[in-house]
Amino acid sequence: MNRLDEALAASKELFENSRGAQLDALLAGSMASDYGRILFKMKRFEEAGPALSEAIARMESLEQTAHPRYLTTMKQMIQVSDELKRPTDAKMWQDRVAAYVASHPPATTSTTRP
C-alpha cells in the first residue's frame, strides 16, 4: 500500500465520521476537503467530484469560505469537470471561482516606512 492509499483510507474515515459530529468549524472544513483532495491527486475523478462538492457545501455551511482551501477546492472541481467531460459543470465552477475572486481581492501590505 502506498502513501496515498494510506492517506485515502484515513481521510475517508474522517470524512464520513465528521458528517454530523460536533467539531471546530476549521477542523471540520479541513476534514471535508482532505478526502476529495486525495481522490483528486489519485486521479479518481468520478469519486473526487462528489467528495469535493460536499466539502464545498460543508465549508459554506460552516462559514469557512475565507479559508484558502475553499478556492482551491472550487478550482479542483473545474479540473474534475473537465476530466469527466462535463463542460456545463466546468463553466459553472469557472463562474463561481471568478465571482469569488472578484469579491475577495488579495490582501495588500503596507510598504511605508516610519
87 lies in a domain? yes
- Specify the range with the lowest mean pLDDT, choosing from 25-29, 56-60, 100-104, 110-114: 110-114
Considering the entire predicted model, what is its pTM?
0.76
109 lies in a domain? no
- Specify the range with the lowest mean pLDDT, choosing from 13-17, 25-29, 80-84: 25-29
Q: Tell me, what CATH number does 94's domain have?
A: 1.25.40.10
Which DSSP category does 64 fall into? -
Residue 1 has pLDDT above 80, yes or no: no
**60: three-class secondary structure by DSSP:** helix
Rounded to whole angstroms, how far apart are CA atoms 41 and 48? Answer: 9
23 lies in a domain? yes
- 3-state helix, strand, coil split of the chain in percent (to 5) is 70, 0, 30
Q: How many domains does the chain have?
A: 1
pLDDT tens digits, 18-58 = 666 666 656 666 666 888 898 999 999 999 999 999 889 98
Range(s) of the domain holding residue 96: 3-103
112 lies in a domain? no
CB proximity list for 66: less than 8 A, separation 6 or greater: 104
108 lies in a domain? no
